[in-house]
Amino acid sequence: MKAITIKEFGGPEVMTYGDRDQPTPGATEALVKIEAAGINYIDTYQRTGLYPIPLPATLGLEGAGVVEAIGKDVTMFAVGDRVAYTSALGAYADYAAVDQSKLVAIPEGVSTQQAAASMLQGCTAHYLSHSTYKLAKGETCVIHAGAGGVGLLLTQIAKNIGAHVITTVSTEAKAELSRGAGADEVILYTEQDFEAEVKRLTDGAGVHVVYDSVGLSTFEKSLNCLRRFGMMVLYGNASGPVTQFNPATLGPRGSLFLTRPTLFDYTAARADLEWRAGDFMSWVRDGKVKLRMEHNYPLAEAQEAHRALEGRKTTGKVLLIP
Ligand code: NDP
């Protein structure tokens, strides 16, 4: 089968397209014929070694397709089932062997590509808004990178809850998309001081929660956007990781809360995975959340796809199609 493999950490050029042995499913695994693999920012962290993985490796933490074979102890799925998954490495390939505990059934009315686009960013937007900081109607949040994969989904979910949403984006074209997703206010953080803008927009009060996936370049100012007892949710490092921080500074800023959550923990229990994926895919099916999927690349062009994502050229979901 064809797959994208890395043998060393580095830039997009370390990803090579070529033949690799088709995996054989273990006792509790299903062999999934991948019809669409999701590209996510975390793939770039694994590629560069920021988040180290054993090498050689096939990248890709999200996929959807059809079960082609099952191991002897698989009870939850059968050959022919349409399934999607996240949090198992190896989706940039024609086939992946995935433990049944990570698979979810794709509901009627949701396409395989939509399912691939739902699992990682959709479940992330779900846990951020429903668990890490449970947004309530009338509360105000800041969502950084509002036109990105997670950003567009989180904005729609926050608006469906009835929250007031302030987003940040780098270009006017992205601002349009963010407004289209429902953002009440959009700040061009490449041109404006977003901290000053958030204070102005909230009459100095600050917001209940900041969802910050940008990291290094936004972290300190994001803390200053929060109201008393506000929560800083640092969930990514698109501009680089935050490595220096003094927790004592949370006190004078208003007894703030700081958390660094991961999707892995919020979907570790099977019930949580089913809840989040089930909710999210039903919203997609019912049109309550719209997926933006205008960046599909052939599997062989994974390098170009990574360059576009890291170059801030993409909006919404990026998919690889084997
Ligand atoms: P995005 O589509 O959001 O792409 C990243 C965006 O970050 C860019 O489009 C860009 O938007 C913005 N950005 C700001 N500064 C930079 C920079 N210096 N270089 C590149 N991009 C920059 O990606 P995803 O939706 O896949 O992921 C978003 C973030 O969420 C990532 O940091 C990812 O790691 C994190 N994440 C965390 C999870 C968790 O459980 N902790 C799970 C899923 C995602 P703009 O041009 O508007 O600034």
pLDDT in tens, the chain (322 residues): 999 999 999 999 999 999 999 999 999 999 999 999 999 999 999 999 999 999 999 999 999 999 999 999 999 999 999 999 999 999 999 999 999 999 999 999 999 999 999 999 999 999 999 999 999 999 999 999 999 999 999 999 999 999 999 999 999 999 999 999 999 999 999 999 999 999 999 999 999 999 999 999 999 999 999 999 999 999 999 999 999 999 999 999 999 999 999 999 999 999 999 999 999 999 999 999 999 998 999 999 999 999 999 999 999 999 999 9
153 shares a domain with 113 = no
Does this model's pTM top 0.95? My answer is yes
How much distance in Å is there from the Cα of 79 to the middle of ligand 1? 36
Residue 129 lies in a domain: no
316 Cβ inside 6 Å of ligand 1: no
94 shares a domain with 8 = yes
131 Cβ inside 6 Å of ligand 1: no
How much distance in Å is there from the Cα of 309 to the middle of ligand 1? 9
Top mutation candidate among 214, 294, 318 for ligand 1, by most atoms within 8 Å of CB:
214
Residue 233 lies in a domain: yes
218 shares a domain with 273 = no
281 shares a domain with 233 = no
Residue 274 lies in a domain: yes
Top mutation candidate among 39, 41, 210 for ligand 1, by most atoms within 8 Å of CB:
41
Pick from 191, 212, 185, 174: which is nearest to 313 by CA?
A: 174
Residue 127 lies in a domain: no
Domain count, the chain: 2
Atom of ligand 1 nearest to the CA of 40: 26
155 shares a domain with 246 = yes
Which residue, of 260, 283, 301, is where some domain finishes? 260
| CATH assignment at residue 179 | 3.40.50.720
72 shares a domain with 184 = no
252 shares a domain with 289 = no
Q: Which domain holds residue 40?
A: 2-120+268-321
Number of residues in the chain = 322
233 shares a domain with 193 = yes
305 shares a domain with 223 = no
Which residue, of 212, 230, 260, is where some domain finishes? 260
Residue 6 lies in a domain: yes
Residue 114 lies in a domain: yes
Going by CA atoms, what residue is nearest to atom 47 of ligand 1? Answer: 169
Residue 95 lies in a domain: yes
145 Cβ inside 6 Å of ligand 1: yes
Distances (CA, A) of 75 to 195, 275, 299: 52, 20, 31
| CATH assignment at residue 37 | 3.90.180.10
Atom of ligand 1 nearest to the CA of 39: 26
72 shares a domain with 163 = no
Residue 192 lies in a domain: yes
117 Cβ inside 6 Å of ligand 1: no
217 shares a domain with 282 = no
Which residue, of 238, 260, 282, is where some domain finishes? 260
252 shares a domain with 153 = yes
